[in-house]
Amino acid sequence: MRAVLVLVACLALDAPVAAAAETLDDVVRSLETVYARMLDLRADFSQQAFNKSLDQTIPARGTVYLKRGGKLRWEYTEPTPQQIVSDGKKLWVYTPALNQVNVGDAPAALAGPAGSFLAGLGRLREQFSVRFLNPAVPRDAEGNWLLDLTPKQPLPTLARLILAVEPRGFEVRKAVVYDQFENTVTMRFTRVAVNSGVPDTTFTFVPPAGVATVPLR
């Protein structure tokens, strides 16, 4: 479930923008322009989930598909296979090792800034308070703009979001999500495809034969 609720951190894109950004307003405007045009996304991802109280980091990787309307599909290949799928109304969490799928209504969070992130970044300042992570040095060593976002309506799983934004195509190369306990999920994206026409059937799930169905709690 945590992976579903932190999907806000899991976007990347490579659509060009016309003008170079120099100020915070320029960066925000360019990012909004790019995301406003985005309908769907597919990307490979690597993830590092850090639990502050346990001082433990768990790596993971896989493929993500996102589409407007709260549609998502996370296919984890490591550390253990798992699929998290939502059509915006229902949510399925399939764990092959347990031979079961948990099914329930899609969390309300998917209807807010989290689940509507494809649209949310198209209206960045409507959804978030935004600043440079370090106004004195607004770029990282690779030249990416570092944005520090605070949702105007924070969720337990989304208290803060940091984005590293590539300055030419405005690709979100890295995202770090903080929850209210300062646990973090850091995600990096590769092999990104935007507006490739991901079909709606990607966001439905039919359990394999013999798989137990358990209500999602």
**Per-residue model confidence (pLDDT) at position 127:** 81
Q: Residue 96 domain-assigned?
A: yes
What is the chain's mean pLDDT, rounded? Answer: 83
Q: In this prediction, what percent of the chain has a pLDDT beyond 90?
A: 52
Q: Looking at the domain assignment, is residue 210 inside a domain? A: no
State the pLDDT confidence band at 108, using cuts at 50, 70 and 90.
low
Domains held by the chain: number: 1
Rounded CA separation 201/76 (Å): 18
Domain of 158: which CATH number? 2.50.20.10
**pLDDT score recorded for residue 118:** 53
Parent domain of 26? 2-192
DSSP string, 169-213: T--EEEEEEE-TT--EEEEEEEEEEESS---GGGG---PPTTPEE
Task: Tell me the whole-structure pTM to 2 decimals.
Answer: 0.79
For strands 100-105 and 40-51, give the pairing: unpaired
